[in-house]
Amino acid sequence: MILHTPRNRPATWRARRQSVRRAWWLPFVAIEWTWEWAAYALSNWAFLEVLEYLSSFSVLVAVIFYFSESGDRVKARHYQAWQVINTAQGKGGSGGRIEALQELNADKVPLVGVDVSSAYLQGLRLEGASLVRADFSSADLRASSLAGCDLTLSNLSNANFRSASLNHTLLANADLHDADLNDADLRDADLSGAMLNGADLRRARLENIRWQNIRNIRDANIAGVIGAPAGFPEWARANGAVELPGGDQ
């Protein structure tokens, strides 16, 4: 912002000329003296002061409009993210879906019913997301973090969750048949009503899981599970689970 300060009246040309000691300085002094008078005249022009105020006011108006339209910009961003997800539905690869999902979740947008089946989503981070009835079937979610997510009634069949974080995740009535949960972290997960038939649970962390009402665990591989609750391995074997360290199911 330019501060409008009236300037002092410059000296007359006669007075200025008399102060010049060398003749070859005169052209330069004349130019400087001309600009001093121009600055003096403009500094006393009220119109320029009004323009300064209008400039400051326009900045204020721009800031007000920027914040007043922030909601519309957020909606537009969410619309674009959903468009990316829906356009790539059923296709392999990422197609920008990792960034789109993470952005929506960061803005606390529910992802209920989202369909990312067969997508490449390795390293996805959706901690605490609402993913009820989501479709992650055959998706590649290796080393992803879905900690604290609500995956109730979700389709996670044939998904690759190797080394993924699923601790404190709600997996009630989720379909996990033939899912690869090798080295996955399932601590404190709720598996009530879940279908785990054919799942690979080798070396999965199972501390404090809710397992008593698992619907189906036939042919699931529980070799080397870590921290399994008391009674779980016996119950799993009695209901058709196997222990094959090499993974040949």
Model confidence over 36-52: pLDDT tens digits?
Answer: 766 666 666 665 566 67
Confidence of residue 205 (pLDDT cuts 50, 70, 90): very high
Q: The tokens 């997510």 sit on which residue?
A: 149
pLDDT of 152 higher than 90: yes
Give the integer Cα–Cα distance in Å for 99 and 90. 17
Write phi, then psi, for 233 (nearest 5 degrees).
-60, -40
CA nearest to 47, candidates 111, 104, 4: 4
pLDDT of 203 higher than 50: yes
pLDDT of 27 higher than 80: no
Q: Are 225 and 245 a contacting pair, CB within 8 Å?
A: no
Query: What is the model's pTM?
Result: 0.71
pLDDT of 169 higher than 70: yes
pLDDT of 124 higher than 70: yes
Q: Which range is least confidently modeled, 86-90, 159-163, 168-172?
A: 86-90
What does the pLDDT read at residue 60?
A: 67
The mean pLDDT value for 136-158 works out to: 97
Give the integer Cα–Cα distance in Å for 202 and 180. 9
Give the integer Cα–Cα distance in Å for 162 and 183. 6
What does the pLDDT read at residue 66?
A: 54
Confidence of residue 30 (pLDDT cuts 50, 70, 90): confident
Average pLDDT over all residues of the chain: 87
Confidence of residue 157 (pLDDT cuts 50, 70, 90): very high
Give the integer Cα–Cα distance in Å for 106 and 95. 19
Domains belonging to the chain, first-starting first, are 24-68 (no CATH), 76-249 (2.160.20.80)
